[in-house]
Structure 1
Amino acid sequence: MKRVITFGTFDVFHVGHVRILERARELGDCLIVGVSSDALNFSKKGRTPIYSQEDRKKIISSLQFVDEVFFEESLELKGDYIEQFKADVLVMGDDWQGKFDNFRSQCEVVYLPRTPSISTTEIIEVVRSTER
């Protein structure tokens, strides 16, 4: 059984998220998704997500091609998560190209192209600009 792991915030869930998760699942028999905790997201981006970590986990868990979901508490623990979940493949969006190559000794690392013209940050900015 080939196990695939990926990570993300998955805030303001959109078709780009669906597509990358579907493609990740196609690389193996089991897809494990680490959802960034609210605290981790705040430390990375200086803001909390629109949706709570529990809501984001529920959304990801509801997808038929996702087998397991957990909270990613720290970027420094990615190697530990790969080991803990016995992942054979780490999948990330190609906006992270090269940033996770250090895990190649633990598993295969694959960078998938993002869906063009779709970004959670852009969606949030558009919504906020129309609120004014």
Structure 2
Amino acid sequence: MKTVITFGTFDMLHVGHIRILERAKRLGDRLLVGVSSDELNFRKKQKSAIYNEQDRMEIIRSIAFVDDVFLEESLELKGEYIKQFSADILVMGDDWEGRFDMFNDLCQVVYLPRTLGISTTETLEYIRVGA
């Protein structure tokens, strides 16, 4: 049985999130998703998510092909999460290409293409300035 692990904020869930999670699941038998904590998200982006960590975890957990969800509390702990969950494959979006290659000694690292034309940041900006 192959376990796939991935991470993200998953704020303002959109079809790009769904597609990358679905493609990640096809790489293995079990898909685990680490959802960035509110504190981690603020440290990464210097802004708060629209939805809090519990709501974001509940949303991701409700997706049929996601097998389990956990709270990612630190970017520096990715290797520990990979070991803790005995992950065989780490999946990240290709905008992170090469940045997680250091985990190749723990598992296979796969970078999947993002869905073109879809971005949470761009969607929020569109909402802010109006149509």
TM-score where L is the length of structure 1: 0.98
> Is 1:51 the counterpart of 2:78 in the alignment?
no
Structure 1: runs of 5 or more not aligned:
none
Q: Which amino acid aligns with 2:12?
A: V
Q: Which residue of 2 aligns with 1:86?
A: 86
C-alpha deviation, 1:107, in angstroms? 0.1
Counterpart CA distance in 2 for 1:92 and 1:62 is 20
Q: Which residue of 1 aligns with 2:60?
A: 60
C-alpha deviation, 1:130, in angstroms? 1.9
Q: Which residue of 2 aligns with 1:112?
A: 112
Counterpart CA distance in 1 for 2:74 and 2:130 is 34
Moved over 6 A (4+): none
C-alpha deviation, 1:39, in angstroms? 0.3
Q: Which amino acid aligns with 1:128?
A: R
Q: Which residue of 2 aligns with 1:76?
A: 76
State, as a whole percentage, how many aligned pairs show the same letter. 66
Counterpart CA distance in 2 for 1:125 and 1:36 is 21
Q: Which residue of 2 aligns with 1:14?
A: 14
Question: Alignment length, in residue pairs?
Answer: 131
Q: Which residue of 1 aligns with 2:101?
A: 101
Structure 2: runs of 5 or more not aligned:
none
- Secondary structure of the structure 1 residue equivalent to 2:105: coil
Q: Which amino acid aligns with 2:28?
A: G
Counterpart CA distance in 2 for 1:72 and 1:9 is 9
Tell me how large the CA RMSD over aligned residues is.
Answer: 0.9
Counterpart CA distance in 2 for 1:18 and 1:114 is 11
Counterpart CA distance in 1 for 2:41 and 2:90 is 20
> Is 1:121 the counterpart of 2:118 in the alignment?
no
Counterpart CA distance in 1 for 2:130 and 2:54 is 27
Counterpart CA distance in 2 for 1:125 and 1:77 is 31
TM-score where L is the length of structure 2: 0.99
